[in-house]
Amino acid sequence: MPQDIYSLKVSELKAELAKRGLPTRGNKASLLAGLIEALTNEGFDPDTYEFPEAKELSDDSETEQSPEQAPTKTDKIMEMLSAMTSTMNQRLEQQTVSINSITSAMNQRFEEQSTSITASINQRLEEQTVSMNQRFEEQATKMTVITDQLAKIDSRFCEVREEIRKTEEGLNDKIEKVDKRTLQLKEEVDDRIKELTQRLEGIQQNGSVTIERAAVKSLKAPIFDE
């Protein structure tokens, strides 16, 4: 005669669990909870699932119970709930331990990654700082060279400007001397022309052309001072 899951004995619960390759250790409550979970995973309703009646009883630990001592369905349900609660608590504890382990591992990994990243960033910053300092020093050296060259160019420009000023002064002095000498020569020429004009007039009056040697010698080519 078929029987429900709550009527199974410990030996029968173990046999059903063994068929499914599940653990067979524990008290009746844990065995019952394991079989209920297995049936649920297989798609059966544990409350309506029927098991064939066992032919032999081999569990010495379990004794026959009189109808008065047989547990009621409510007791069986409470026993099942207790077993399920115990199983759930065990699994919850296992999950909690697993989560704590994972959290610890993640925190450790995060610290390692954070330390590695921080060290890498600091190294990169140090390298960049050294590189920038070197470039700054090179630029400063170039600027010093350029400043020195500009100073030399400015000094040379001042020297050339002074030379030009002195040359202009010398040229102005020479031009002034030339102007004076030219004026003197003009006056001398005018005097000679006036004198010759008077002589010609005298010659025309006397009818003879005579030029004294002294007058000829007094006529000289102009000489300009350097």
Domain ranges of the chain: 5-55+69-113
Give the span between the Cα atoms of 54 and 48, in whole angstroms.
18
pTM strictly above 0.85: no
Q: Give residue 65's pLDDT band: very low, low, confident or very high (50, 70, 90).
A: very low
Integer Cα distance of 198 and 73 in angstroms:
176
DSSP per-residue codes, 161-216? HHHHHHHHHHHHHHHHHHHHHHHHHHHHHHHHHHHHHHHHHHHHHHT-----HHHH
Buried/exposed code over 104-143 (b: 16+ C-beta within 10 A; e: otherwise): eeeeeeeeeeeeeeeeeeeeeeeeeeeeeeeeeeeeeeee
At residue 51, the 3 state secondary structure works out as strand
Cα dihedral sign, 71-74-80-81: negative
What's the pLDDT tens digit per position in 4-47?
888 899 999 999 999 999 999 989 999 999 999 999 999 999 88
Q: How far apart are CA 76 and CA 70, in angstroms?
A: 10
Q: How far is Cα 40 from Cα 34, in angstroms, rounded to an integer?
A: 10
Q: Which residues pair with 205 in a beta bridge?
A: none
SS3 144: helix
- Please tell me the least confidently modeled range out of 31-45, 54-68, 112-126, 177-191: 54-68
